[in-house]
Amino acid sequence: MRFLPLIWSGIWRKPGRTILIFLQVSVAFALFGVLQGLKTGVEHLIGEARADLLIVHGGLGLMDPLPLSLLEGIKSIPGVKVVAPVELFGAIYQNPNQKLGVVAIRPDEGWLSAFTFTIAPDYVAAFRTMRTGAIIREGLAKKYGWKIGDHIPLMSTSAQMNGSTDWAFDVVGTYTDSDVGGGKETLLVNYAYFDEARFAGKGTVNHFNVAVSDPRLAVNVADQIDRRFANSANATQTDSLRELAQSQLQSIGDLNFLIRAIVSVVLLALLFATATMMMQSIRERTPELAVLKTLGFTDGAVFLIILMEAVAVFVAAAACGLALSLLVFPFASKIVPGLSVPLVVVALGLICAVLVAVISALLPAVQGAKLNVATALARR
């Protein structure tokens, strides 16, 4: 403890230099936080995606339609709790640049357990009784200022029976979605209404959502579904939500190499810059260190004081930088919606800061410790 004042005065010996090093370290760790946060955040999201929710889509890919008649077949497979048909189509609101995704679902018994949505019970009840009802994703409702009771006209690429491509829905509530994938600007509508009114593709769905009774059976159930429809005209491909998240975020995983490279480059450059500054500082302080030793400070104590100076500045600066990265992260996370910096990254950053500090201060500290009092004072 008696070293504290010494360390403190050592840090502020040249305030300008310390502040610059502080800023440099902060900036480096702000970048570290954002990049590493992106990487770890993606891994986190995949881990959090539901493994017990299966998506059954056409064997040819996510755009391959399946007939609604598959529903009973899927339901009959042991371990399946709820099967929910889902049809997707694109629409625009007012002008071609305001695109939104429409999700047509059937509000059957227990349907919500086959989705990642959170919806208030009275909205669900209102949706069930209103054929043209729509539940709007909260962000979308906010964007256009839509309120419950509003009648919203949309234009779609799917035509109605009468040839018109205009559709209209009545807002009955809002919902939030915990899933990573899919669009952000979406609304839920009644499949029964949509399917009856549309011109082409009647009786088909984009995919089925399947909730399983026991999460441990998910892989097994997925296999059984695919096996049941294999070699038919409607071969299926069943994946859990987690598998889908994995393949969707895979592309960002390709950036992992780049992220690692940048983070290493940043830390290396930082290491070199601070090591030079520390050397310079110890050179300038040779007489002061000699005086300390004359007063009876051991070599070990001098070594420790120099090391602690560096560690203190680095940890404080890194904490500052990481806090900054938490602040700017919402902008960077535009790339992956719903991403946040896990606390692991902060801990990792602080460990890195201590490491860089110790490595860059090691040589100067050894120099300071090995200092010969007589020659050091004589040089003065």
Partner 1 sequence: MNFTRQFLSILLMNLSGIRQRSAQVLTIIIGVTCAVGVLVSMLAMGAGARRQEMGDVRADHATLITSGARYLQSNISRDEIAAILGLPGIQKGAQGEPIVVFESMVPIEGRRRVTGNRIYFPLVGITSTVTQYQQMRFTDGRMFKPGLHELIASSPCVRQFTGFEIGDRRPIHGSDWTIVGHFEQGKAQQCVVYADVDNIMSIFSRNSYGAVSVLLRSPADFAAFRDAVSANPALKLEAQRESEVAEEGFKELNAILNFVSYFVGTIMAIGATLGAVNSLYAIVDSRRSELATLRAIGFASGPIMLAVLVESILWAFPGALLGGALAWVLFNGLSASPFGFSFQLAVTPSLAVLGIVWALAMGFVGGLLPALRAARVPVATALRAT
Interface residues toward partner 1, by CB under 8 A: 16-17, 20-21, 23-24, 27-28, 30-31, 34-35, 59-65, 90, 92, 95-96, 155, 157, 159, 200-201, 232-235, 237, 247, 250-252, 254-255, 258, 262, 265-266, 268-270, 272-273, 276-277, 279-280, 332, 334-335
CB-wise, 95 or 129, nearer to partner 1?
Answer: 95
CB-wise, 135 or 317, nearer to partner 1?
Answer: 317
Q: How far is the CB of 31 from partner 1 (least distance, A)?
A: 5
Q: Counting beta carbons within 10 angstroms of the beta carbon of residue 258, is it exposed (0 to 12), middle (13 to 18) or buried (19 or more)?
A: exposed
CB-wise, 8 or 272, nearer to partner 1?
Answer: 272
CB-wise, 147 or 227, nearer to partner 1?
Answer: 227
CB-wise, 82 or 339, nearer to partner 1?
Answer: 339
Q: How far is the CB of 233 from partner 1 (least distance, A)?
A: 4
Mapped onto helix, strand or coil, the DSSP state of residue 90 is strand
Q: How far is the CB of 7 from partner 1 (least distance, A)?
A: 20
Alpha-carbon distance of 41 to 340, in angstroms, equals 6
Q: How far is the CB of 248 from partner 1 (least distance, A)?
A: 9
Alpha helices in the chain (DSSP H): 4-11, 15-48, 70-75, 121-129, 138-144, 191-197, 218-229, 241-253, 256-284, 286-294, 299-332, 343-370, 373-379
Q: How far is the CB of 275 from partner 1 (least distance, A)?
A: 9
Q: How far is the CB of 260 from partner 1 (least distance, A)?
A: 12
Q: How far is the CB of 204 from partner 1 (least distance, A)?
A: 9
Q: How far is the CB of 62 from partner 1 (least distance, A)?
A: 6
Asked if residue 212 lies in contact with residue 220, where contact means CB atoms within 8 angstroms, the answer is no
CB-wise, 218 or 275, nearer to partner 1?
Answer: 275
Residue 116, φ and ψ in degrees, nearest 5: -105, 15
* Crossing angle of the two packed helices 343-370 and 15-48, in degrees rounded to 10: 150
Q: Which of 146, 142, 155, 153 is nearest to 96 (CA)?
A: 155
DSSP, residue by residue, 102-123: EEEE---TTGGGGS-EEE-HHH
Mapped onto helix, strand or coil, the DSSP state of residue 246 is helix
CB-wise, 35 or 302, nearer to partner 1?
Answer: 35
DSSP assignment letter at 334: T
CB-wise, 129 or 157, nearer to partner 1?
Answer: 157
Tokens 């403890």 found at = 1
